[in-house]
Amino acid sequence: MVQRERILIIEDEPDILEAMQYSLAREGYRVSGAQDGEEGLSKAEQEYPDLVLLDLMLPKVDGLEICRRLKTNPDLQAIPVIMVTAKGEADDVVTGLELGADDYVSKPFTSKVLLARIRAVLRRANLSSPPPEERIVRLGVVIDASRHTLSVEGQPVELTARQFRLLHALASNPGRVFSREQLLSKVAGDTSQIIDRNIDVHVGAVRKKLGEHRDLIQTIRGVGYRFREA
């Protein structure tokens, strides 16, 4: 069997940790576990895993702080992080995404869902080195980054520069959840012009332009938006 990626699970509840370790090991992943934040951080440094599964409510150092330390450490920031969250932690999910976490799963989850998220995040991590695609084609939607054009079902569609940046950011990272704040910074670009801070308005306008394919942009309640994965 091919040795698969190494995954570090930081989770303080022994039953959940054990269940996750079991289902990941069964898939061939090499798994290690840590039961508090401090141990988690030191294992991340020593083992340099291919991915970290990070519970947010942890003793000693909490999950968001771990995420912040990983993502601000030049040696560790490339390691993808999937947050594991409890119900009602939507605000923490948003904070975590802004700190650089790559995705999240909400408890309770099935091992099928967990494995799918892991595969998607690992795939994106492997793809993220080459330059962003110039042309993104999904269903009848063609987004051309070099010409800043959009066509839907063969018809050219006019977009403002801001709408284009928003659409392109989402579509070049299918499956990735963006918080509203992250999308606002894409919309604003590097200008200091005043923009409408209500991202839902911008997203609504872009959806309208996508016409029958408007549901390519999915709303993640309480968190933000993502472009549907194939």
Q: Closer to Ca ion by CB, 57 or 76: give it.
A: 57
Could you tell me how many residues of this chain bind Ca ion (CB under 5 A)? Answer: 3
92 near Ca ion, rule: CB under 5 A:
no
Q: Closer to Ca ion by CB, 85 or 182: give it.
A: 85
**Least distance CB 13 / Ca ion (angstroms):** 5
Structure tokens at 139: 């269903």
Q: Which span sits near Ca ion by CB under 5 A: 8-16, 164-172, 185-193, 222-230?
A: 8-16
12 near Ca ion, rule: CB under 5 A:
yes
Q: Closer to Ca ion by CB, 92 or 102: give it.
A: 92
Q: Which residues of 23-39 are buried (b: 16+ CB within 10 A; e: fewer)?
A: bbeeeebebbbbbbbeb
Centre a 10 Å sphere on the Cβ of residue 187 and count the other Cβ atoms it contains.
23
Q: Closer to Ca ion by CB, 82 or 150: give it.
A: 82
DSSP strand pairing (149-152 vs 155-157) = antiparallel
**Least distance CB 11 / Ca ion (angstroms):** 6
Bridge partners of 106, per DSSP, are 85
Structure tokens at 156: 């050219």
SS3 content of the chain, % helix, strand, coil (to 5): 45, 20, 35
Judged by CB under 5 A, the chain residues 46 through 75 that form the site for Ca ion are 55, 57
**Least distance CB 63 / Ca ion (angstroms):** 8
* Position of minimal CB gap to Ca ion: 57
How many residues are given for the chain?
230
**Least distance CB 86 / Ca ion (angstroms):** 7
Q: What is the DSSP string of 182-218?
A: HHHHHHHTT------S-HHHHHHHHHHHHGGGGGGEE
Residues at the site binding Ca ion, with contacts judged by CB under 5 A: 12, 55, 57
